[in-house]
Structures are given as structure tokens and as C-alpha cells.
Amino acid sequence: MVKLYGLGLSFPVNRVRMCLNAMGLEYEFVVINPLAGETQTEEYLKMNPSGKIPAIDDDGFYLFESNAIMKYLCRKHNSDFYPTDIVEQAHVDKWLDFIGAHLNNGLAKVFFNKIVAGLIDVEADEKSMQEGYVFIKRFMTVIEKQLGATPYLAGDKMTIADIALLATVDPFEVVDINLSDYPNVATWASKLMKESFYRKVHGSYKETLDAMMAG
């Protein structure tokens, strides 16, 4: 059985959780907190030498980076969430790269300074946070246009590109980004958040954050 190492606040970790759920695979979710230094142990660094999350242990095969993990799982289990057709696959790869290079980078700036800085008692960098908001607004307009043209990000079927995007917009409400500013994305997200693959992760991202803050 696959062991997935991570924390519920991590959007890359939640990508993999949603992917595993959508594929109907059994797995063990091992909670490991990088904010507490738990990813710096010798044992964990064998799985992910960067000391970041997520990482998986698939019966002794270690893999890190959320997109690589999702592609591996889909290939291993012949899942249509990562198509084998070269053109369809290219469209999925394109959006995975777009989300990772643009949206995730912007969100990371905002999320760290809005949420994480307070958790680890460091001063927020307002300039970096505002840069993140500008990045998100700029590149969300591209996503908004795409989801006005196709029901899913890469076409007519849900793929791991949608899972990656869903995990990325999931924390928007806790960093004061109004998803209703992007009505096509909001409609798409509302539909997917009702699905069991999402509900098995949490009812909402805010629910997970509130639980961590309380505990």
C-alpha cells in the first residue's frame, strides 16, 4: 500500500490525496509537519532530499514532487486522469506546468506571509505578499478564460490538471481571494468540491486550517 507523507495544509500534498481518492486507491496518509522540523530526519530525507512534502513510499519506491507522483500513479494504474494520447497528454502537461510555475508561485508568496509567518512567528513580507496577489490575479484570468471554453481544464474530461488546480484554488478563501471574481472557475470548483475525492480530504480548506490552529 502507498504511504503518502504530508500535512493537510499543503496544497501539493492535497493534490496527491485527491488523486489517490479519485482513482479509488487505498493508501496510508502519514502526517508529517515540516514546520516542526519533522521532514529533516535522516529517514525522511532518504525519500525526499529537499526535506519538503509530499513524498510517497510505494512498497520501497520513493518519489517526491506532486505532479510526478500523480503521473506515476496514473501510469501504474492505467488511469485516464493522465491520458496516454500524446496530444491529450501534452495539454495536461501544459496546464500542470502553468499552475506550478505561475499560480503556485504566487499563492506560495501570499500563503506564507498571510498564514505561515504567523504560525512560525516571523515577520510577514508585505511586498512579497502583494507580488503574490498580482501574480494570482494575472494568471487566474487565463484559467478563467479556459474554463469558459471547456468544461475541464484540458478538455471534456477531468484530469490531474483539474486536481492540481482544485488543490491550488482551495486555500483562496483563507487568504482573502474571492473565487467569485472568476465565475467560470467558481462554477467548476463548486462542482468538484462536491465530489467524494475532495470530501475525503476535507469539507473545506478553512476547516483544515481551523482544526490545526485549534489543535
Could you give the residue numbers annotated as active site?
10
CA atoms within 13 A on the CB side of 143: 31
Q: Name residues whose C-beta falls within 8 Å of residue 55's C-beta, 6 or more positions apart in sequence.
A: 4, 5, 6, 44, 47, 48, 62, 63, 64
Q: Of 139, 140, 121, 123, nearest to 186 (Cα)? A: 140
Give the three-state DSSP class for 201.
coil
Q: Give Rg (Cα) of the chain.
A: 17
| CB-CB contact of 164 with 70 (8 Å) | yes
